Amino acid sequence: MMSEKLILGVDIGGTKIAAAVVTGEGKVISRDYSPTSAQAGPQVVIDNIFATIDRAISSSNVALSQLSGIGIAAAGIIDSENGKVIFSPNLPGWHEVSLGDAVHQRFSVSTYLGNDASLAALGEWRFGVKKQVTNLIYITVSTGIGGGIICNGKLYTGVLGAAGEVGHMTVDVNGPRCNCGNVGCWETLASGTALAREAVKHIKEGANTSIVEFAGGDLTKVDAKVVFEAAKQGDKLANQLIARLGYYLGVGLANLVNIFNPELILIGGGVAKMGDLLLKPAIKVVNERAFATSATSVQIRPALLGDDSSILGAVAFVLDNLAEGSTIRGE
Amino acid sequence: MMSEKLILGVDIGGTKIAAAVVTGEGKVISRDYSPTSAQAGPQVVIDNIFATIDRAISSSNVALSQLSGIGIAAAGIIDSENGKVIFSPNLPGWHEVSLGDAVHQRFSVSTYLGNDASLAALGEWRFGVKKQVTNLIYITVSTGIGGGIICNGKLYTGVLGAAGEVGHMTVDVNGPRCNCGNVGCWETLASGTALAREAVKHIKEGANTSIVEFAGGDLTKVDAKVVFEAAKQGDKLANQLIARLGYYLGVGLANLVNIFNPELILIGGGVAKMGDLLLKPAIKVVNERAFATSATSVQIRPALLGDDSSILGAVAFVLDNLAEGSTIRGE
């Protein structure tokens, strides 16, 4: 371990912050968590980030001076070049926050910042599939749908780092209104939120289902997890709703297959934990709707790194930047 | 000119073959055309390609031995690595045809083959915008919609060269059936074919319009060009139909803006000749539907090379391959 690089990765979620000390090979040495306390505003969140990093380092037996870099993954529009969070849906009040500078000043370690779904794609590619493919799309399906793109063996983030917003491609031009202001976005039909919305609609219409029992009789507690639990116990409506979710997931995946002709699509995020119940109908739709050449050359599989995609992606991002001799956010 | 490279570019369309001798700077020295005679099958088409190349060379005062390479653009799934046309919607009977080998054997010049829309993107990027952007999407809107992708300053064609089939992304999951077998593809709503179909539908329903007069009273002659002519003369329905086409064009463009966050989208193809009448409503929709960061950072403009996008792209493809020292399809 003496000769190997050590990197600290941070993943800032809407509810929790995770930090881990990781080797250059992707092995996690130590990790720690804090609540994000996003509603308390940027300064409190930044203090929580500092504290989580401190604890991850102290439990690792690694000295701060041994770290080659810190990588940070956050949702939203991230200006990696300047280490700024331009806007984040998870972090109220964050507009053009110089998080990279703040972390660099506190720890005196070169710090690199990127979008969480893009970095997850990078992490899955480097540490999950070990760069065995050249073109990979990573999708995270949870309350929304995010995406990251590896093309020609390189992370692709677009001109301002905003690429990969696949959850907001219109797949139903006359579909439901999305939080983003658009209509018929993929995530209005194929996310965990969409699943819960449909379940509640059917329950209110008097459907015969055990979903509401799995939610403890409380309609506001119906979410993707609850529907999945009911489905596993044989609830007919729950199974139908998940198959419908898989159908819409497949419609968007077929679009990505036609646009990118990738070797591999990896599906992460909470909803992806449904496994075959969700992926089988999705893959069927891809085979029906996408061009045969591209449909037969793609593999669609669950992501390999579980909840660590983004944090390991942040580590991979640091390694890439160090290899390129970048001087962004540090010396 | 003595020291400059000379390349022969070929564009194989459904109705005509174009060949041109071009300098490494993209200056066309001579050009020639033949009918494709696609219905007569591969051997006749290949003979037509040979004859067109012969004539373009003889009218150029350039000796065959002076050519550094031949580049060929064709619609469909092209295996560039092996110089094969796997499948082409424009060329009936072509399945895994070794066109690269055939041309190389006939002319003893290194020959490179690529998809026409992908090469058009490359041509527009190299000779149109002179590589002044890093991420560019090229769209051709004619009877269908095709696309080519430049990302991270490089042509992106996916694992089997089938990337860029943006015309077949679903934008209306319950929309019209497409020739590709899918439903609600972008090109079923935003292509010249879609425009003509809507015009005929309205005429049959008894709409008050001069479109049918511009088609010489023959409904089968109603196409995008005819509707455009009527619109320019103030026909109300024609103008409404083009605005509707622009709306649907914008829906798909917004998807590409969200997915790629590109600096530039260039629109080529016959329908794009409608200019602002089409592009203004499309850009309005992009601003309404796409993420603000990406919508405000993209320029959407008519393509710069007109009908030469693909032929100059084929030339650019040869230059790229020569620069990489590739030995594909020749020594």
- In tens, the pLDDT along B85-103 reads 998 888 999 999 999 999 9
B228 and B91 housed in the same domain: no
Chain A residue with CA closest to B162: the answer is A261
- Taking the CA of residue A148 and the nearest CA in chain B, the distance in Å comes to 9
Per 3-state DSSP, chain B is made up of helix, strand and coil in percentages (nearest 5) of 45, 25, 30
Which is nearest to A184 in space by CA: B163, B261, B184, B244? B184
**Cβ <8 Å between B165 and A258:** yes
Set of chain A residues whose Cβ sits within 8 Å of the Cβ of B135: 158-159, 163
Assess whether pLDDT exceeds 80 at residue A1.
Answer: no
- Taking the CA of residue B257 and the nearest CA in chain A, the distance in Å comes to 8
- Taking the CA of residue B5 and the nearest CA in chain A, the distance in Å comes to 27
- Taking the CA of residue A300 and the nearest CA in chain B, the distance in Å comes to 14
pLDDT, residue B89, reads 82
B216 and B162 housed in the same domain: yes
B124 located within any domain: no
For the stretch B69-88, pLDDT in tens is 999 999 999 999 999 999 88
Interface test with A, best of B134, B157, B261 (most A CBs within 10 A): B261
A125 located within any domain: no
Set of chain A residues whose Cβ sits within 8 Å of the Cβ of B154: 152
Chain A residue with CA closest to B258: the answer is A165
Assess whether pLDDT exceeds 80 at residue A62.
Answer: yes
- Taking the CA of residue A69 and the nearest CA in chain B, the distance in Å comes to 24
User: Position of tokens 């991270």?
Assistant: B152
Burial of A296 (0-12, 13-18, 19+ CB in 10 A): exposed
Interface test with A, best of B118, B136, B166, B169 (most A CBs within 10 A): B169
Q: In the numeric block, which tokens belong to residue A139?
A: 């999708």
B1 located within any domain: no
Chain A residue with CA closest to B147: the answer is A259
A262 located within any domain: yes
User: Position of tokens 């005509």?
Assistant: B16
CB contact set of B81 (below 8 Å; sequence gap of 6+): B328
Residue B303 contacts residue B266 (beta carbons within 8 Å): yes
Q: What is the mean pLDDT of residues A283-293?
A: 97
B330 located within any domain: no
B90 and B152 housed in the same domain: no
Chain B residue with CA closest to A177: the answer is B289
User: Position of tokens 């500078």?
Assistant: A101
A171 and A262 housed in the same domain: yes
A293 and A316 housed in the same domain: no
Q: What is the DSSP letter of A125?
A: I
Chain B residue with CA closest to A247: the answer is B173
pLDDT, residue B221, reads 96
pLDDT, residue B8, reads 98
pLDDT, residue B217, reads 93
Using only C-alpha atoms, chain A has a radius of gyration, in whole angstroms, of 20
Interface test with A, best of B81, B293, B320 (most A CBs within 10 A): B293
Residue B261 contacts residue B286 (beta carbons within 8 Å): no
Report residue B324's pLDDT band, with 50, 70 and 90 as the boundaries. confident
Assess whether pLDDT exceeds 60 at residue B165.
Answer: yes
**Which residue segment(s) compose the domain that A180 sits in?**
130-303
For the stretch A189-218, pLDDT in tens is 999 999 999 999 999 999 999 999 999 999
Locate the DSSP E strands across B183-255.
Answer: none
B165 and B286 housed in the same domain: yes
Report residue B331's pLDDT band, with 50, 70 and 90 as the boundaries. very low
**Separation of alpha carbons A104 and A107, rounded Å:** 5
Q: What percent of chain B stands above pLDDT 90? A: 92
The letter for the amino acid at A6 is: L
Higher pLDDT, B146 or A330: B146
Q: Is A309 helix (H, G, I), strand (E, B) or coil?
A: helix
Q: In the numeric block, which tokens belong to residue A71?
A: 């990588």
A66 and A140 housed in the same domain: no
Q: How many CB pairs under 8 A join A and B?
A: 156
CB contact set of A183 (below 8 Å; sequence gap of 6+): A170, A173, A174, A175, A176, A177, B289
Q: Is A35 helix (H, G, I), strand (E, B) or coil?
A: strand
Q: Which residues pair with B78 in a beta bridge?
A: B85
Q: Which residues pair with B149 in a beta bridge?
A: B137, B156
Interface test with B, best of A118, A129, A255 (most B CBs within 10 A): A255
Please give the ipTM for the structure prediction: 0.95
Set of chain B residues whose Cβ sits within 8 Å of the Cβ of A255: 169-170, 255
- Taking the CA of residue B222 and the nearest CA in chain A, the distance in Å comes to 26
**Separation of alpha carbons A47 and B1, rounded Å:** 65
Assess whether pLDDT exceeds 60 at residue A328.
Answer: no
Task: Tell me, rounded to whole angstroms, the distance of Cα B101 from its chain centroid.
Answer: 24
Which is nearest to A162 in space by CA: A97, A85, A99, A104? A85
Number of domain units in chain B: 2
Q: What is the mean pLDDT of residues A287-308?
A: 96
**Separation of alpha carbons A116 and A146, rounded Å:** 9
Q: What is the mean pLDDT of residues B238-259?
A: 98
Give the CATH number, domain containing residue A234.
3.30.420.40
**What pairing do the DSSP bridges indicate for beta strands B264-268 and B154-156?**
unpaired
Q: Which residues pair with A300 in a beta bridge?
A: A265
Task: Tell me, rounded to whole angstroms, the distance of Cα A104 from its chain centroid.
Answer: 24
A31 and A152 housed in the same domain: no
Q: Which residues pair with A148 in a beta bridge?
A: A138
**Cβ <8 Å between B297 and A180:** no
**Cβ <8 Å between A261 and B158:** yes
**Cβ <8 Å between A159 and B289:** no
For the stretch A137-194, pLDDT in tens is 999 999 999 999 999 999 999 999 999 999 999 999 999 999 889 999 999 999 999 9
Q: What is the DSSP letter of A143?
A: S
For the stretch B225-239, pLDDT in tens is 999 999 999 999 999
A137 and A286 housed in the same domain: yes
B329 located within any domain: no
B50 and B160 housed in the same domain: no
B202 and B239 housed in the same domain: yes
- Taking the CA of residue A134 and the nearest CA in chain B, the distance in Å comes to 8
B125 located within any domain: no
Task: Tell me, rounded to whole angstroms, the distance of Cα A272 from its chain centroid.
Answer: 11
Q: Which residues pair with B11 in a beta bridge?
A: B18, B73
**Cβ <8 Å between A170 and B293:** no
**What pairing do the DSSP bridges indicate for beta strands B16-23 and B28-35?**
antiparallel
**Separation of alpha carbons B157 and B166, rounded Å:** 12
**Separation of alpha carbons A87 and B291, rounded Å:** 11
**Separation of alpha carbons A12 and B176, rounded Å:** 42
B187 and B240 housed in the same domain: yes
Report residue B1's pLDDT band, with 50, 70 and 90 as the boundaries. very low
Query: Residue A46: which H helix or E strand, with range?
Result: helix A42-58
pTM confidence score: 0.95
pLDDT, residue A80, reads 95
Assess whether pLDDT exceeds 50 at residue A331.
Answer: no
A330 located within any domain: no
pLDDT, residue B3, reads 53
Which is nearest to B121 in space by CA: B321, B311, B309? B309
Set of chain A residues whose Cβ sits within 8 Å of the Cβ of B244: none
**Separation of alpha carbons A139 and A302, rounded Å:** 9
pLDDT, residue A326, reads 59
Q: What is the mean pLDDT of residues B304-331?
A: 85
Between B174, B175, B261, which is nearest A163 by CB? B261
The length of chain B, given as a count of residues: 331
Q: In the numeric block, which tokens belong to residue B251?
A: 């829906």
Edge to edge, the sheet with strand B136-141 lists B154-156, B145-151, B136-141, B264-268, B299-302
Burial of A132 (0-12, 13-18, 19+ CB in 10 A): exposed
Interface test with B, best of A173, A247, A265, A286 (most B CBs within 10 A): A173
**Cβ <8 Å between A254 and B170:** yes
pLDDT, residue B50, reads 98
Task: Tell me, rounded to whole angstroms, the distance of Cα A282 from its chain centroid.
Answer: 19
**B131 in the Ramachandran plot: left (φ > 0), alpha (ψ -120 to 50) or beta?**
left
Other CB atoms within 10 Å distance of the CB of residue B208 = 9
